[in-house]
Amino acid sequence: MKKEIILFALLLIFLVDVSKAQEKATVDARFDFFLTLPANKDLGQKFDFGAGAIIGAAIFLPEIKTYFTPQVGFDFMPARPVGNDDTYRESIFFTNFGLEAMYQLYELDNYKLSPFIAISSRKVIDRYLVANGNIVSTNRGTDFEYDKLPPLFSTSAIALNFGLENRFNDTWFIRLSYELYQPKVNADLSNSYDDIDNEIFDPLTQKLNLTTIKIGIGAYFW
């Protein structure tokens, strides 16, 4: 919690400083949707891929060719079936808020290449779902209805994300990034329904490597 308070204070200081130079700065909203891939076996032995979105206010300072973007976002990995009868599924969900700095390294006509780094407070919740006996209709036919169980673990920590943005015009861009995230977790195995958790969470309290690779597409607008 202390780290999150410090990060929030730094964001406030940054916004005050930027407001002093607002005559020279420009502001655009930025939205990007991305796919995530596990970059470590701690996450990869359970989940194959995920998706998410980020929205922020991109503040461009032309004198130093740098964007500063306060931003919030989320990502998740689709609930995976546990066992053979699909009674249980496991889901993992992330939320984050923080600040990104991006430098406009190269520009040719409408194309811009920009490396970036972001620091954020990132929260993760891992929990199992249990079928409650009801059947619901889906686009693929029918499926069980699931109830949420108490979390296997829930925690937050600082995450670092760095990568490259390729911007092709005033609006569209694609991104590739690597998010380093190793929170300290305290697992409650009484909320586990998969034997593999006994191997992963040994000991129960440990740093878990939940680092991911992100591939995104997005737009600037306002």
How far apart, in whole angstroms, are the C-alpha atoms of residue 52 and residue 88? 23
How far apart, in whole angstroms, are the C-alpha atoms of residue 58 and residue 29? 6
pTM of the model: 0.86
Q: Which tens digit of pLDDT belongs to each residue from 19-66? A: 555 557 899 999 999 999 999 988 999 999 999 999 999 999 998 999
Report the pLDDT value the prediction gives residue 85, as an integer from 0 to 100. Answer: 76
Fold classification of 2-7+25-221 (topology level): Porin (2.40.160)
Question: How confident is the model over 162-181, as a mean pLDDT?
Answer: 97
How far apart, in whole angstroms, are the C-alpha atoms of residue 140 and residue 46? 24
Percent of residues, the chain, with pLDDT higher than 90? 73
Q: How would DSSP label each residue in 152-211?
A: EEEEEEEEEEEEEEEE-SSSEEEEEEEEE---EEE--GGG---TTHHHHTSSSEEE----
